């Protein structure tokens, strides 16, 4: 099973709000996500994701996809 770790990654970086994540995405990756899209990412594991969104998250949070998802059996 894959575990979505976005909230933990954000907390580790002192990011507590979706609006802060939105600002980082725009500043560091030049990527805009709507408030509902950010809310969906924060409130549940995504069933699918555009590669552009994944790349922007990794750029903004200075992480890899392996940091965003953890595999547990």
The CATH topology of domain 2-71 is 434 Repressor (Amino-terminal Domain) (1.10.260)
Dist. CA 68–CA 37, nearest whole Å = 16
Is the whole-model pTM more than 0.85?
yes
Over residues 9-30, mean pLDDT: 98
**Boundaries of every domain in the chain:** 2-71
Predicted confidence band of residue 52 (pLDDT cuts 50, 70, 90):
very high
Dist. CA 68–CA 6, nearest whole Å = 6
pLDDT of 2 reads: 92
Predicted confidence band of residue 12 (pLDDT cuts 50, 70, 90):
very high
- Which CA distances in Å does 45 have to 1, 7, 28, 48? 11, 10, 23, 9
């Amino acid at each position: 099973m894959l575990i979505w770790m976005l909230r933990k990654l954000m907390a580790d970086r002192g990011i507590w709000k979706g609006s802060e994540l939105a600002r980082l995405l725009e500043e560091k990756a030049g990527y805009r996500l709507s408030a509902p899209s950010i809310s969906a990412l924060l409130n549940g594991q995504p069933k699918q994701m555009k590669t552009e969104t994944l790349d922007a998250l990794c750029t903004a949070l200075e992480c890899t996809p392996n940091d965003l998802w953890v595999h547990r059996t």
